C-alpha cells in the first residue's frame, strides 16, 4: 500500500474535482489547517478552498512547508498557540483546528495548551497512539524528539492524551503510511474515530473526507455530537 500511495492520492484528487461540491452550511467561524510533514499551503489548498466555499473562514497555518518542529518542541509550539489565540480575539469566536498527519499532532497539542480558544480538533491520518514506531511514519515523527532513536515514554503518553475539546480522528484502513490502529481515539461524549477509504496522501482531497470535515465543522458551537455514520 505504501508503493501505491502516490497513485491513489492522484485518484483521490481527481475524485475531489468531480465529486462532492461544497454547500454553504458553515457559520463563518475561523478554521486553521496544519499540513503533514513535507507539505505546505499548496498541498492543502483544495481542502481550504472547499471549506471556504462551505461557509467557513479558513486560514493556512502560515508556517510554510512542514519540516517538523524547530528547536525544543514545546517552545516551538508557543508561536502556534499565539496565532490561535490571536485569531480567537480578532474573530471573537473559537477556532477549529484541522491537522493532517504530523500536523494533527500540532493541532492536538495546541488544543491542550489553549483550550479556551479552540472549538474542536479534527485530525486526518494522525497516529498519535503509536508514534513510538510500528509504521512508516515512525522515522519522521522522531523529529519531535530531535532524531533520537525513540520517543521517550512520557512524551508518547502525553501525545496519546485526548485534547479537552471535541475531537474527531479520521483514519483509513488502507492507509499506506501510518497504522490505522494508531489513529483510533477513545470514544467518549466528546471524542470519536471516523473511518474513511482514502489514501494517506489523499486525505486532504478525498470527497468522503471532505464531507466528514464539513459535517463536523457545521455543528453549532457547544452542541457537538458524534457523527452518525449511515449503515
What residues of the chain score a pLDDT lower than 50?
none
User: What single DSSP character describes residue 24?
Assistant: -
Residues 61 and 86 sit within 8 Å (Cβ to Cβ) = no
Pair 32, 118: CB distance under 8 Å: no
Query: Could you tell me which of 86, 106, 82 has the C-alpha nearest to residue 94?
Result: 86
How far, in Å, are 96, 174, 176, 179 from residue 1 at the CA level? 31, 7, 4, 11
Q: Which residues of 46-69 are buried (b: 16+ CB within 10 A; e: fewer)?
A: ebbebbeebbbbbbbbebeebebb
Write out the E strands in 80-142. Answer: 95-100, 118-124
pLDDT of res. 213? 97
pLDDT at 23: 77
Q: Which domains does the chain have, with CATH numbers?
A: 5-19+29-217 (3.40.50.1820)
Return the C-alpha torsion angle 67, 193, 228, 49, nearest 10: 0
State residue 163's pLDDT score.
Answer: 97
Q: Report the Cα 99 to chain-centroid distance in Å.
A: 2
Amino acid at each position: 500500500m505504501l508503493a501505491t500511495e502516490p497513485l491513489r492520492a492522484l485518484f483521490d484528487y481527481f475524485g475531489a474535482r468531480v465529486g462532492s461540491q461544497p454547500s454553504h452550511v458553515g457559520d463563518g467561524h475561523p478554521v486553521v489547517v496544519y499540513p503533514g510533514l513535507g507539505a505546505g499551503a499548496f498541498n492543502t489548498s483544495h481542502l481550504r478552498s472547499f471549506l471556504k466555499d462551505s461557509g467557513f473562514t479558513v486560514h493556512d497555518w502560515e508556517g510554510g512547508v512542514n519540516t517538523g518542529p524547530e528547536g525544543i518542541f514545546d517552545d516551538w509550539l508557543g508561536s502556534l498557540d499565539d496565532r490561535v489565540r490571536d485569531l480567537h480575539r480578532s474573530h471573537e469566536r473559537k477556532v477549529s483546528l484541522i491537522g493532517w498527519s504530523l500536523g494533527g499532532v500540532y493541532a492536538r497539542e495546541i488544543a491542550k495548551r489553549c483550550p479556551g480558544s479552540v472549538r474542536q480538533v479534527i485530525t486526518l491520518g494522525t497516529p498519535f497512539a503509536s508514534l513510538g514506531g510500528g509504521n512508516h511514519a515512525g522515522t519522521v515523527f522522531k523529529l519531535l524528539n530531535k532524531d533520537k532513536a525513540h520517543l521517550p515514554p512520557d512524551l508518547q503518553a502525553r501525545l496519546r492524551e485526548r485534547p479537552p475539546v471535541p475531537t474527531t480522528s479520521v483514519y483509513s484502513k488502507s492507509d499506506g503510511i501510518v497504522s490505522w490502529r494508531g489513529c483510533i481515539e477513545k470514544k467518549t461524549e466528546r471524542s470519536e474515530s471516523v473511518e474513511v477509504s482514502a489514501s494517506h496522501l489523499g486525505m486532504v482531497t478525498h470527497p468522503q473526507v471532505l464531507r466528514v470535515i464539513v459535517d463536523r465543522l457545521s455543528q453549532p458551537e457547544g452542541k457537538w455530537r458524534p457523527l452518525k455514520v449511515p449503515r
